[in-house]
Amino acid sequence: MNGTQTPAPTRSARRCGRPATAPGGRRCTPPASRFLAVTSLHTLGPAGTNCELAARQWSARAGQPAAIVLHASLEEAAEAAASTPGAALMVPVAYPNLHTLMYAHLESLRLADTLIVDTHNMVLARRPGAGQPRSVASHPAPVELVPAGCTVRLAASNAQAALDCAAGAAEGCITTLPAMEANGLELVTDFGPVAMAFTVHVRR
């Protein structure tokens, strides 16, 4: 199996509409017992992404800790989840191609749960000693945080944007606070955490 496994989660999370019901009386968040069969949760890496954070929190609430498997892209994560017994896929609703992932795997994966979490602090960071960034690496989802006038270099994830910046591919990056710190980057702007919904897709 492709991807990198990380330890099971410990943090709690806010669930989508805990006491509420959707139209027709259907619960927004199914009981955790429904997910006992999920043994691996596939999402976007590398370590330090908001997807990893959300996956850890969801797994902690699922009733049986699942292995978190981090992939280079959500498309790769979806392929792995669709072909692995006991697997599930986690995707942020801010991902521009969420609809494509859902319809491409309509016969193998179904939407089963939604989780709302506060992301890591989102930041604009730069390499140590650099001035105001003129080129910025960013995942497509938070690209609107890139300062006006900067050249954008698209990255596969927020954490990858930090890696690209540290390697010299861009002068700055939109990334998470943990990824900034892990790569020895300097803070330019702290946008704070973002309340984000994540969808969980299980095998049919």
Nearest to 120 by CA among 51, 182, 197, 58: 51
pLDDT digits (tens, 9 = 90+) for 6-49: 554 444 344 444 434 334 434 344 455 567 789 999 999 999 99
- Looking at residue 62, its pLDDT comes to 78
* pTM of the model as a whole: 0.79
C-alpha distances in angstroms, 164 versus 6, 123, 147, 180?
A: 22, 15, 18, 11
pLDDT above 70 (res 204): yes
Q: CATH 3.40.190.10 in the chain: give the residue spans.
A: 4-118+196-203, 122-192
pLDDT digits (tens, 9 = 90+) for 111-168: 999 999 999 999 999 999 889 999 999 999 999 999 999 999 999 999 999 999 999 9
- Looking at residue 37, its pLDDT comes to 87
Q: What angle do CA 192, 197, 202 make, to 5 degrees?
A: 140
As a whole number, the mean pLDDT across the chain is 87
**pLDDT, mean of residues 83-104:** 95
Quote the CATH superfamily of domain 4-118+196-203: Periplasmic binding protein-like II (3.40.190.10)
* 11 vs 92, residue with greater confidence: 92
Tokens of 28: 């927004």
**Domain 122-192 classified CATH 3.40.190.10?**
yes
pLDDT digits (tens, 9 = 90+) for 95-116: 999 999 999 999 999 999 999 9
Q: Which residues of 154-190 are buried (b: 16+ CB within 10 A; e: fewer)?
A: ebbbbbbbbbbbbeeebbbbbbbbbbbebbebeebee
pLDDT above 60 (res 65): yes
